[in-house]
């Protein structure tokens, strides 16, 4: 006989399937390669109170965990009694949505039997919102593009055409933006439709009982996992490249019996460049890193997120306040997991990996300013590539892997079809993974040039150029990243505008992850396999592992 708890568990599993279908609807309908090919999205289902009860596995923590809070904000902004079937609300406010203007967040009320029972929501990256665009050069948020406060995008099934026209008029890629907005709408509608079908199938009148079961079960499981940890406060300082000068990120991690607090006190102040990070985004990645270790088998929802709290002084670079420039907020926001793990490794030394590349190598490309005057077709495209992850306590790191972002690497064929660029090389970097008992993951070497006789612009904002990923417990550091024009060109800084001339080749190498444990303790068979696979050279063996191996 089916028990009430078994029935609730079956419905929970069904809900996870519904939300994953919702996410796939967004990926398949999107126009921009960074969404369609790289999965730079989030999708979720929320209860009547705006609490996240399910999220799609496909997506990035910077979208998912910010969405979990943003829906509460939008729900509070718009009275539920005024909502009608077919309404959809949206914003790209960085301090509400996911940290910069290029991410649109939508929320749709779900009606069942004439009443609002919950909400669907989703986020994705739009390729261009005007202004200076994706790059770190803006002096404030107004330089960076079009900011849209919370508003109604769709009114009873009718899209706000004026708003859509404004977005298109402020973009270098109006068609792609329009298509991506319709994809976001389709995502919300798909989730709402499937949720209503599920409720009818299970005979539900509302989501109250199911929501409470999901959230309380997840919250209790997470608190149980926290209660098994050592209690205390641990501190760590992470030095990052910054823009022009190095920056210190500081954190204090406090574990109590039923909660975890992360405090960014002491972190450097905001800069006048667009690498500042709103706290919602810094918290999203910090909590994600913690949840990878603490209660990692518990689904991500309002209940499992509740015991984690992140704070930081207003005006520090991880708690930027409006109107600070934040276009490239991922540059430092995605470094916070290494900051968190520096603290956590002191409390749980056998569970935390070495540092990794962490910050994805996000390379926005665009036509040069004079292109339009010469009659050349304008374009804007965003490439995403990844480095190696840090070695784990019992396993090697992963090569060219999207951690912590989860944003898959750009596909060569798709990129070449969408923009006038040509890939000449893409391969793993031998010896880039830090040596250790367990080796760090490898970075990549990628070469890109113009596909025609025209220059293009690159807007660099990457990390690990000067501060490589550190090994842990005797493991060696991974290789630092490199950017240059041509194979023999000088190394370039990791942030700033770069013009690549016709006939030139942009060469960039993503960082490797740090090693874990003393290199002398690496298994000889594993090292021999590395050499055979071309991951470690003979010179690397001699230099990093010594003659004994």
Determine the 3-state secondary structure of 333 from DSSP: helix
Domain-located, residue 275: no
Give tens-digit pLDDT for 488-542. 999 999 999 999 999 999 999 999 999 999 999 999 999 999 999 999 999 999 9
Residue 84 has pLDDT above 80, yes or no: yes
3-state SS, one letter per residue, for 216-253: HHHHHHHHHHHHCCCCEEEEEEEEECCCCCCEEEEEEE
Q: What is the mean pLDDT of the chain?
A: 95
Is residue 254 domain-resident? Answer: no
Full domain range(s) for residue 371: 353-549
Give yes or no for a contact between 440 and 515, defined as CB atoms under 8 angstroms apart.
Answer: yes
Q: At what angle do helices 174-202 and 4-29 cross, to 10 degrees?
A: 160
For residue 57, being part of any structural domain is answered with: yes
Q: Of 193, 219, 245, which residue is a domain's last?
A: 219
Closest of 326, 311, 406, 318 to residue 358, by C-alpha = 406
Which of 219, 234, 260 delimits the end of a domain? 219
Asked if residue 231 is part of any domain, the answer here is no
Beta bridge partners of 456: 367, 500
Residue at 65 is within a domain: yes
Number of domains into which the chain is organized: 2
Give the residue among 364, 320, 375, 356 at the shortest CA–CA distance from 461: 364
User: How many of the other CB atoms lie within 10 Å of CB of 473?
Assistant: 17
Is 52 within the bounds of a domain?
yes
Residue 278, in any domain of the structure = no
DSSP 8-class letter at 394 = S
Across the chain, which distance is largest between two alpha carbons, in Å? 75
CA 294, chain centre distance (Å)? 20
- pLDDT per position as a tens digit, 437-495: 999 999 999 999 998 888 999 999 999 999 999 999 999 999 999 999 998 999 999 99
Q: Let me know the angle formed at the C-alpha of 219 by 358 and 96, rounded to the nearest 5 degrees.
A: 55
Q: How much helix, strand and coil, in percent to the nearest 5, is found in the chain?
A: 30, 20, 45
Last residue of a domain, one of 158, 185, 219: 219
Contacts with 350 (C-beta within 8 Å, 6 or more apart), sequence order: 393
């Amino acid at each position: 006989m089916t028990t009430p708890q078994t029935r609730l568990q079956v419905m929970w599993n069904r809900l996870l399937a519904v939300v994953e279908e919702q996410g796939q609807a967004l990926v398949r309908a999107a126009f921009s390669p960074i969404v369609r090919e790289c999965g730079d999205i989030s999708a979720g289902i929320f209860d009547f109170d705006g609490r996240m009860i399910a999220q799609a596995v496909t997506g990035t923590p910077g979208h998912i965990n910010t969405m979990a809070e943003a829906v509460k904000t939008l729900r509070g902004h718009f009275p539920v009694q005024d909502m009608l079937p077919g309404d959809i609300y949206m914003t790209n406010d960085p301090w509400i949505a996911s940290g910069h203007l290029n991410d649109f967040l939508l929320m749709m009320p779900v009606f069942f039997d004439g009443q609002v029972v919950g909400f669907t929501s989703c986020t994705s990256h739009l390729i261009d919102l005007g202004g200076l665009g994706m790059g770190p050069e803006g002096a404030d948020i107004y330089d960076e593009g079009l900011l849209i406060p919370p508003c109604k995008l769709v009114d009873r099934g009718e899209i706000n055409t004026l708003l859509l026209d404004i977005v298109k008029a402020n973009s270098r890629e109006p068609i792609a933006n329009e298509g991506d907005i319709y994809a976001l709408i389709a995502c919300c509608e798909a989730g709402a439709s499937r949720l209503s079908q599920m409720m009818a199938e299970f005979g539900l009148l509302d989501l109250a009982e199911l929501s409470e079961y999901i959230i309380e079960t997840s919250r209790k499981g997470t608190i149980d996992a926290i209660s098994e940890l050592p209690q205390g406060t641990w501190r760590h300082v992470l030095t990052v490249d910054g823009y022009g000068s190095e920056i210190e990120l500081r954190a204090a991690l406090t574990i109590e019996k039923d909660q975890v607090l992360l405090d960014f006190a002491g972190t450097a102040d905001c800069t006048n460049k667009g690498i500042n990070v709103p706290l919602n985004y810094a918290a999203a990645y910090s909590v994600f890193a913690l949840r990878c270790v603490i209660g990692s088998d518990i689904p991500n929802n309002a209940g499992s997120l509740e015991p984690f709290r992140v704070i930081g002084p207003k005006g520090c670079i991880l708690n930027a306040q409006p109107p600070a420039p934040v276009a490239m907020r991922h540059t430092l926001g995605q470094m916070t997991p290494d900051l968190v793990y520096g603290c956590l490794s002191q409390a749980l030394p056998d569970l935390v990996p070495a540092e990794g590349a962490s910050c994805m190598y996000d390379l926005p490309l665009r036509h040069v300013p004079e292109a339009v005057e010469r009659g050349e077709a304008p374009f804007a495209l965003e490439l995403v590539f990844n480095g190696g992850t840090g070695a784990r306590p019992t396993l090697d790191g992963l090569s060219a892997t999207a951690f912590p972002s989860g944003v898959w690497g750009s596909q060569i064929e798709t990129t070449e079809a969408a923009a006038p660029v040509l890939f000449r090389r893409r391969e793993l970097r031998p010896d880039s993974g830090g040596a250790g008992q367990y080796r760090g993951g490898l970075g990549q070497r990628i070469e890109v040039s113009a596909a025609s006789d025209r220059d293009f612009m690159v807007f660099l904002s990457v990390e690990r150029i000067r501060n490589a990923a550190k090994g842990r417990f005797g493991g060696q550091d991974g290789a630092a990243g490199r950017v240059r024009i041509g194979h023999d060109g000088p190394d370039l800084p990791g942030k700033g505008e770069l013009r690549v001339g016709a006939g030139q080749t942009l060469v960039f190498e993503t960082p490797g992850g740090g090693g874990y444990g003393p290199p002398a303790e690496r298994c000889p068979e594993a090292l021999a396999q590395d050499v055979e696979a071309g991951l470690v050279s003979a010179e690397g063996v001699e230099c990093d592992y010594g003659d004994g191996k």
